[in-house]
């Protein structure tokens, strides 16, 4: 039996249920809610808990919160939201985009191996003094490819994975095929790519490139719904093509949606959420309908968000 750490303790992968693999309860910057609370929607914890309760009632069992420390991961906030809503929440360690220059590079001098030790400590002992252990590692690169500080973070994530066995999720920029660079670095570190999930993949409709990623053994996050630039329908056509090509059990649909957020002045939450009032239920309510209309059988649709996530955490 494989276990995975949630913020309320380890659970069996058998009990993950319907799992959204890339979401955020809140995104900001470190300590944002405590120190700049007026930026956020009012009563942000209650707001997030209410959203999660609707999510749970809609049939979602587990959410993976991909907010790293530098994106504002607030572990006590997340724990409280999980407790009050009943949604299993798995959190991540690692780093988003550039590791600051006072940590890495010629100024900071911290090596990937040293950085990895901090990630390993969180994975084995817990975040701060909470005892809460993350369930995944995260690294990110974006437009412009893998920069030197990102490479340092990525190599640190690889080393932490090799020590602990905890799987890796990478944020990538697919219009530029940046995953090719990231996967080459992970391979160079000795990572078996079946322990890697490549996220935001539905930002491109280039099936040949996506099939190449899957052929490396990776899992795939189709996790920007409804998304910008690429339309929701185009994203679902990409998913259908990958299902038809036989990759269904490697796919992890999700929204990359922040349940609580920084609200621009003069905007209501309804206005802010106009593109996706369903929040974490968009896939169930809209995408599954699109797939059905495209002719994907119900038995296959029912495997989405269940089999892929479980396989990923079981290292299949
Ligand atoms: Zn995200």
Q: Please answer whether residues 201 and 212 qualify as being in contact, where contact means their C-beta atoms are separated by less than 8 angstroms.
A: no
Measure 68 CA to ligand 1 centroid, in angstroms.
9
Q: How many CB atoms lie within 10 A of CB 29?
A: 14
- The SS3 of residue 96 is coil
pLDDT at residue number 98:
83
Average pLDDT, the chain: 97
Say which residue the tokens 């036989």 belong to: 246
CA of 252 to the centre of ligand 1 (A): 14
Residue 107 has a pLDDT of 85
Determine the pLDDT at residue 108: 87
Given this model, what pLDDT does residue 101 score? Answer: 84
The pLDDT, as a whole number, for residue 105 is 80
Intervals of the chain under pLDDT 50 = none
Q: Is the peptide bond before 226 cis (omega within 30 degrees of 0)?
A: yes
Cα of 66 to ligand 1 centre, how many Å?
Answer: 6
Range of the domain at 121: 3-314
CATH of the domain at 162: 3.20.20.140
CB atoms within 10 A of CB 34: 10
- Distances in whole angstroms, Cα of residue 86 to Cα of each of 22, 89, 204, 224: 18, 9, 34, 24
**pLDDT score for 11:** 98
- Indicate if the alpha-carbon torsion angle 144, 146, 149, 150 is positive or negative: positive
Total domains in the chain come to 1
Asked whether the whole model's pTM tops 0.95, one would answer: yes
Give me ligand 1 centre to Cα 24, in Å.
6
- Cα(257) to ligand 1 centroid in Å equals 7
Q: What is the pLDDT of residue 211?
A: 98
- For ligand 1, the distance from its centroid to the CA atom of residue 223, given in whole angstroms, is 8
How far is the centre of ligand 1, averaged over its atoms, from the C-alpha of 114 (Å)?
25
């Amino acid at each position: 039996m494989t276990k995975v750490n949630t913020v309320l303790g380890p659970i069996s992968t058998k009990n993950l249920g319907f799992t959204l693999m890339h979401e955020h309860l809140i995104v900001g910057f470190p300590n944002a809610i405590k120190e700049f609370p007026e930026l956020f929607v009012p009563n942000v914890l209650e707001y997030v808990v209410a959203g999660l309760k609707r999510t749970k009632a809609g049939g979602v069992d587990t959410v993976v919160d991909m907010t790293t420390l530098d994106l504002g991961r607030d572990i006590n906030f997340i724990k409280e939201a999980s407790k009050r809503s009943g949604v299993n929440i798995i959190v991540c360690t690692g780093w988003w985009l550039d590791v600051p220059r006072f940590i890495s590079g010629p100024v900071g001098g911290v090596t990937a191996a040293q950085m990895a030790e901090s990630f390993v400590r969180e994975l084995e002992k817990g975040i701060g003094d909470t005892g809460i252990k993350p369930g995944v590692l995260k690294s990110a690169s974006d437009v412009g490819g893998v920069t030197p500080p990102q490479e340092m973070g990525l190599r640190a994530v690889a080393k932490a994975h090799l020590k602990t066995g905890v799987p890796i999720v990478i944020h990538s920029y697919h219009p530029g095929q940046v995953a090719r660079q990231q996967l080459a670095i992970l391979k160079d570190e000795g990572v078996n790519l079946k322990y890697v999930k490549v996220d935001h993949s539905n930002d491109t409709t280039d099936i040949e490139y996506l099939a190449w990623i899957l052929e490396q053994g990776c899992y795939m996050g189709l996790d920007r719904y409804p998304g910008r630039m690429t339309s929701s329908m185009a994203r679902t056509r990409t998913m259908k093509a990958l299902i038809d090509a036989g990759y269904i059990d490697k796919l992890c649909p999700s929204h990359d949606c922040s349940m609580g957020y920084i609200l621009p002045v003069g905007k209501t939450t309804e206005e802010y959420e106009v593109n996706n009032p369903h929040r974490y239920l968009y896939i169930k309510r809209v995408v599954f309908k699109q797939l059905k209309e495209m002719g994907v059988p119900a038995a296959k649709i029912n495997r989405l968000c269940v089999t892929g996530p479980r396989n990923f955490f079981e290292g299949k």
